[in-house]
Amino acid sequence: FLWALAYLNQDPREPTPVSGSIPFISPLIGLATEKESYYMRMRNKYRLPIYSLRMPGPTTYVVNSFRLVQLIDRHIRTIAFTPIELYAVRTTMGASKQTCDKIGGEQLLTDKGYFMSFPKNVAAGASPGLGLDALNRTAVNTMAASFDKLAEQGKTTVELFDWVRHEIFAATMEATYGPHNPFRLPVNEKDWFTLERGLMALLVDILPGIFAKKSLEARERLVKQLYKYFQQDKHLEGSLFVRLRHEHNVRFDLDLDDTAHTEIGQINASVSNTVPGAFWAFWQILADPVVFKDCQSEAAKLVQTSSDGLCTIDLANVRTACPILVSTWQEVLRFHGTSISARVVQEDIVIDDQYFLKKNSMVIMPSRVFHTDESVWGPTASQFDHRRFLKSSKSGTKRAPAAAFRGFGGGAVLCPGRHFVSTEILAFAALLLVRFNVGPVSGKWIEPGKDFLMNTAFPTPKDKVDIELIPKNKMKWKVIFSDNSKGINMIREDLEDSKQ
């Protein structure tokens, strides 16, 4: 019966159906057990540019071909991202029905609508310029102060993921919310991570009151804190980014309560990928002796030592003076990144003159599938090569077209936080490399297993990595971040802009 249902429902022009041994059930089991690796297995098994995955609910098309992704990117209104955003505003952020009706409906797919106009309205807050410099400066100052405290303690043992999670969270929240950052209170940080654990359950939206009870309670407490923050106009002393987000909400007549609810989504976007991304970046830099040596010698060049022994480092320079660090980060995004772009088909459409995509179906584009495609990245696609993205790579690695790199999305849906987060992570890495000797407590670096989550751009480590941090010297450090209005250009769109 299931076979009949799967195939009778299928238009012959739709992408070839792939269902495993039991239609509807096998893909569900595959995705639940293998998570994002399921898409890799299906790609390797069927070698199709695009296929239909028959599961309960709307038909899902999974795209394997990078060329098709580029075609899909062009249909922003027909194969749209905004319905997914609206769904997340309702389920994970918990905004009111009134607000969802207001920002959804007819304006959902128009340029002037809440979602489509968001990137333009907030761009100045996080694209190269004074707003971005200020964001990164506060993040850098926050981590520098924390490094000073750590150095005072002498040799310290920490668990790498827990440590990175706290440091990155604290720096990102301080940079965003400024001197009245509600997350300076440890209870609010704790609530964030309680909420984060249940975000997938909230997104799935099946009995969230039961399956994500603690997360829902934490969300309500956080919304109250954020409400107070905006009500007391504390955002006026926060980053340009948070002020522009607030203005965007005012423009669309959102009340304070729903403004606070939408901030939950912004925090999710700014932290949930950054923390595991930073973890894998630091893992690669610290655990691989070749990567370590290259990155450390680049970071050391940023330090100037005065005759009285003061060490000064301008971390704004990681963006322009550390090509190997930048290439390593890009390779971390390619090699460890697992982001999945999802879109909803708004009306029947044929792409590439042959694939018929039905209205209301889902289109899934897993970045790892493209990032491991040998026809694009060459025979070393499955290896980590920290020099792969250097302009003049001598490692013999095939240089991939810039557009093939999807670490921060592509086309109309680009990550607005890309410059901020890339600089933040690389500044953290550079400061760590120049100030501390770092080694595994066990004496050997053992790569942790990976826990794949469908709603984040990186896996989380399954195993603990205990490390020792030993300050390199007792010198005084001055950490600065000068205005240089530069970004880190990794994606095709930024590379093209920087050429103009």
* Alpha-carbon span 151 to 469, nearest angstrom: 9
Backbone torsions φ then ψ of 301, nearest 5 degrees: -70, -15
Residue type, 339: S
| Chain position carrying tokens 């109309």 | 412
CB of 40 to ligand HEM, least distance (A): 17
DSSP three-state, residue 475? coil
* Alpha-carbon span 3 to 23, nearest angstrom: 6
Judged by CB under 6 A, the residue of 30, 104, 208, 277 near ligand HEM is 277
- Distance from first CA to last CA of the chain, Å, rounded? 59
Judged by CB under 6 A, the residue of 181, 194, 273, 296 near ligand HEM is 273
Nearer residue to ligand HEM within complex by CB, 182 or 407: 407
Tokens of 383: 């290896």
Residue 448 per-residue DSSP state: P
Are 50 and 64 a contacting pair, CB within 8 Å?
A: yes
Start-end of H helices in 391-483 = 418-435
Residue 76 sits in the site that holds ligand HEM (CB under 6 A) = no
How far apart, in Å, are the Cα atoms of 106 and each of 61, 83, 102, 248, 358?
25, 11, 9, 18, 20
- Of 121-180, which residues contact ligand HEM (CB under 6 A)? 126
Q: Considering only the stretches 2-10, 90-98, 416-424, 439-447, report the one whose residues sit in contact with ligand HEM under the rule CB under 6 A.
A: 416-424
CB of 395 to ligand HEM, least distance (A): 24
Which distant-in-sequence residues (6+ apart) come within 8 Å of 144 by Cβ? 431, 477, 479
Residue 416 sits in the site that holds ligand HEM (CB under 6 A) = yes
Residue 487 sits in the site that holds ligand HEM (CB under 6 A) = no
Which distant-in-sequence residues (6+ apart) come within 8 Å of 51 by Cβ? 15, 16, 17, 18, 42, 61, 62, 64
Tokens of 206: 């099946």
> Which string of x and - marks every residue 369-408 that binds ligand HEM (by CB under 6 A)?
--------------------------------------xx
- Of 111-130, which residues contact ligand HEM (CB under 6 A)? 118-119, 126
Residue 23 sits in the site that holds ligand HEM (CB under 6 A) = no
Residue 339 sits in the site that holds ligand HEM (CB under 6 A) = yes
Judged by CB under 6 A, the residue of 169, 229, 405, 420 near ligand HEM is 420
CB of 492 to ligand HEM, least distance (A): 14
Residue 355 sits in the site that holds ligand HEM (CB under 6 A) = no
Q: Considering only the stretches 1-9, 52-60, 63-71, 414-422, report the one whose residues sit in contact with ligand HEM under the rule CB under 6 A.
A: 414-422
Count interface residues toward ligand HEM (CB under 6 A): 21
Residues that bind ligand HEM in the complex, under the rule CB under 6 A: 81, 118-119, 126, 269-270, 273-274, 277, 339, 341, 407-409, 413, 415-417, 420-421, 457
